[in-house]
A and B are shown apart, each in its own frame.
Chain A
Amino acid sequence: MAAINREDVAHLAQLAHIEMSDDELDRMANELAVIVDAVKSVSEAAGDDVPATSHPIPLTNVMREDVVGHVLTAEEALSGAPDAQDGRFKVPAILEES
């Protein structure tokens, strides 16, 4: 795996909508590089014959029946919203004027 550089961190920060200062970008680039190195050691232990897993516990097919359960009222759903109107969440204009 290629090392993580400052540009990668800036790109990821932009994708994740996280505002980072120059100092923070420098620091995170260094820290993430160390973390990536540490994670890399896993691939030394696991050979090609070990499939990748997404979960530590060998559990599959955790499913529920199609039965209606817990529902919130609109008031409850909107109770944490910064702004609401007509029973709906109100959000700022999505597109800038062009």
Chain B
Amino acid sequence: MSVDTILSFEEAMEKYDPVLGFEVHVELNTKTKMFSSAPNEFGDAPNTNVNEVCLGLPGVLPVVNKKAVESSILIGLALNCKIAEHCTFARKQYFYPDTPKNFQTSQYEDPICYDGWLDIELEDGTIFRVEIERAHMEEDAGKLTHMGGATGRIQGADFSLVDYNRSGVPLVEIVTKPIEGAGSRAPELAKAYVAAVREIVKNLGVSDAKMERGNVRCDANVSLRPYGQEKFGTRTETKNVNSLRAVENAVKFEIQRHGAVLDSGVKIIQETRHWHEDTKSTTSGRPKSDADDYRYFPEPDLVPIVTTSEWVEELRSRLPEPPAARRKRLQADWGYTDLEFRDVVNAALLDEIEETVTAGASAAAARKWWMGEIARRAKLADVDPAALGVSPAVVVEIEKLIASGAINDKLARKVLDGVLEGEGTPSEIVAKRGLAVVSDDAPLQKAIDEALAAQPDVAAKIRAGKIQAVGAIVGGVMKATRGQADAGRVRELILATLGVEG
């Protein structure tokens, strides 16, 4: 396999203006498939979630899943699309073992959702509007596993095994219009766009939206043209970009590769490229050819879908608050700075902090715990902070214990240890571990007397008026009480013992 020559990203950007386009496939989380009542479940034993329709056996009749249609309309509405009053299904013909019918049931000339837009917020707050061409309904294909050969890839495989559990899972394909004017922010925009779509479908509750499971998949189209030229350059379509980072990297790589090809005076071939996470590069798939003559025709087994304004408006009334609007509202409510808020978003702790605040903690305290001690421990354990095992209720209770003076910050961290070891609620742990701040003066006085006896020269200095020397005695007492004393009270008692005015 030859290695492509690439320009540096900066050089490519100096010479060429990138145009992007995305096709994002979203798997819906309906209970059943798009056209059959077989279960839509991830991770089950192969070929156990299929029936005659998913296998494309002769004489079967597909029937549309109403929930899938409604989920598709919800996605369209969230993407500011128009909803077609009348739309049909079509057959897209091709031969590939993952498609047992030898055609995919899809939509062609009249998608259910069209002409939408989505405002994408980049890292520095710049808003970039992406126009949506269409969002249409279709079905997923089966899963191929390539056997034999060295790499597990399709190249060099001896044979392939097919699991049709995914065959017929409802998909919505969201297609953008050509995206112009992104300039050097094209890779960042690519990542932010896919992230925004994923967030929207997750927020709608219509998809599990896990990219690592293929619930959201992106094909990224890239072309370059000289600055000032209106006509688009020849594009390539990079498939298999299945993480946000990969979307960013794949777009960046293709810009760099196109730049080098164009610089050498060669034309870009319109083709499919495959993204390889290991080498962070793309390789050529098959060129666009006769194989892409899909001979679409209207699906004779499915009748048209007609939407009434009552139906669409009822669905619109179910739309949740858009994620971007929610973030604006929460930041204003909590009074976090842009930087603080961005860190919370990047740590994916928005839900946890919101719940913690709702349960009674201050926004500052919620951030302190989640972004501080909990995030630190999560990093050590190599898990997401939200998955560490600390609930918003625990944070609220610890904060209350601190506010009441029952524990201090240092003891609170020990309480957290107890929570993570499953010892119970924070209050129970304080009782069991004997973590409460020692507020009874008698044991403190004993520790003070011992500390003074142990450091007679320091005691003499304090008596002579060198008040700042009291810190050494306080330290001794705190050590003796394993941090469970109130340092301020200890200081008062030491000075009283020595008869010195604080």
Residues of chain A having any CB pair with chain B under 8 Å: 11, 14-17, 54-55, 57, 59-74, 77-78, 80, 85-95, 97-98
Q: Please list the 4 inter-chain residue pairs (A to B) with the smallest Cβ-Cβ separation, ordered nearest first.
A: A69-B37, A54-B298, A66-B67, A88-B161
Which residues of B308-331 have CB atoms within 8 Å of chain A's CB atoms?
none
Task: Establish whether residues B64 and A54, one from each chain, have CB atoms under 8 Å apart when the complex forms.
Answer: no
Task: Establish whether residues A64 and B65, one from each chain, have CB atoms under 8 Å apart when the complex forms.
Answer: yes
List chain A residues, Cβ under 8 A from B32: 66-69
Task: Establish whether residues B47 and A98, one from each chain, have CB atoms under 8 Å apart when the complex forms.
Answer: no
Q: How near does chain A come to B134, taking the closest CB pair, in angstroms?
A: 19
Q: A54-B300, A68-B37, A89-B164 are in contact. Are A94 and B51 (CB under 8 A)?
A: no
Q: A14-B290, A72-B50 are in contact. Are A65 and B67 (CB under 8 A)?
A: yes
Partner of B162, one of A11, A62, A73, A89: A89
Task: Establish whether residues A89 and B161, one from each chain, have CB atoms under 8 Å apart when the complex forms.
Answer: yes
Sample (23) of A-B pairs whose CB atoms are under 8 Å apart: A14-B290, A15-B93, A57-B303, A61-B303, A61-B306, A62-B64, A62-B303, A63-B63, A65-B67, A66-B67, A69-B32, A72-B50, A72-B55, A74-B45, A87-B45, A87-B46, A87-B48, A91-B97, A91-B162, A94-B97, A94-B144, A95-B155, A95-B157
Q: A67-B32, A72-B52 are in contact. Are A60 and B305 (CB under 8 A)?
A: yes
Expressed in whole angstroms, the Cα–Cα distance for A57 and B304 within the complex equals: 11
What is the size, in residues, of chain B's interface with A at 8 Å between Cβ atoms?
56
Q: A74-B46, A91-B159 are in contact. List 17 more A-B contacts (CB 8 A).
A: A55-B300, A57-B303, A62-B64, A63-B66, A68-B32, A69-B38, A72-B50, A72-B51, A74-B47, A77-B48, A77-B55, A78-B47, A88-B46, A89-B47, A89-B163, A94-B160, A97-B156
B10-52 Cβ-contact flags toward A at 8 Å (1 or 0): 0000000000000000000011100011110000011111111
List chain B residues, Cβ under 8 A from A61: 303-306
Expressed in whole angstroms, the Cα–Cα distance for A89 and B50 within the complex equals: 13
Task: Establish whether residues B37 and A11, one from each chain, have CB atoms under 8 Å apart when the complex forms.
Answer: no
Task: Establish whether residues B50 and A77, one from each chain, have CB atoms under 8 Å apart when the complex forms.
Answer: yes
Task: Establish whether residues A15 and B293, one from each chain, have CB atoms under 8 Å apart when the complex forms.
Answer: yes
A contacts with B: majority SS: loop
Task: Establish whether residues B163 and A88, one from each chain, have CB atoms under 8 Å apart when the complex forms.
Answer: yes
List chain A residues, Cβ under 8 A from B46: 74, 86-88
Task: Establish whether residues A71 and B38, one from each chain, have CB atoms under 8 Å apart when the complex forms.
Answer: yes
CB of B158 within 8 A of chain A?
Answer: yes
CB of B145 within 8 A of chain A?
Answer: yes
Partner of A71, one of B48, B66, B146, B303: B48
B134-169 Cβ-contact flags toward A at 8 Å (1 or 0): 000000000011101000001111111111100000
Q: How near does chain B come to A32, taking the closest CB pair, in angstroms?
A: 14
Q: How near does chain A come to B153, taking the closest CB pair, in angstroms?
A: 9
List chain A residues, Cβ under 8 A from B446: none
Task: Establish whether residues B155 and A90, one from each chain, have CB atoms under 8 Å apart when the complex forms.
Answer: no
Kindly report which residue of chain B lies nearest to residue A77, judged by CB atoms.
B47
CB of B299 within 8 A of chain A?
Answer: yes
Report which residue of B48, B93, B144, B145 has the largest number of chain A beta carbons within 10 angstroms of its beta carbon. B48
Kindly report which residue of chain A lies nearest to residue B306, judged by CB atoms.
A60
List chain A residues, Cβ under 8 A from B293: 15
Expressed in whole angstroms, the Cα–Cα distance for A73 and B69 within the complex equals: 28
Q: How near does chain A come to B209, taking the closest CB pair, in angstroms?
A: 18
CB of B95 within 8 A of chain A?
Answer: yes
List chain B residues, Cβ under 8 A from A63: 63-66, 69, 305
CB of B295 within 8 A of chain A?
Answer: yes
List chain B residues, Cβ under 8 A from A64: 37, 63-66
Task: Establish whether residues B47 and A66, one from each chain, have CB atoms under 8 Å apart when the complex forms.
Answer: no
CB of B197 within 8 A of chain A?
Answer: no
Expressed in whole angstroms, the Cα–Cα distance for A98 and B290 within the complex equals: 20
Task: Establish whether residues B162 and A88, one from each chain, have CB atoms under 8 Å apart when the complex forms.
Answer: yes
Task: Establish whether residues B51 and A71, one from each chain, have CB atoms under 8 Å apart when the complex forms.
Answer: yes
CB of B68 within 8 A of chain A?
Answer: yes
Report which residue of A66, A74, A78, A91 has the largest number of chain B beta carbons within 10 angstroms of its beta carbon. A66
Expressed in whole angstroms, the Cα–Cα distance for A30 and B304 within the complex equals: 35
List chain B residues, Cβ under 8 A from A16: 93
List chain B residues, Cβ under 8 A from A55: 300, 303-304
Partner of A62, one of B37, B63, B155, B290: B63
Q: A54-B298, A62-B64, A88-B145 are in contact. Are A93 and B159 (CB under 8 A)?
A: yes
Expressed in whole angstroms, the Cα–Cα distance for A7 and B37 within the complex equals: 42
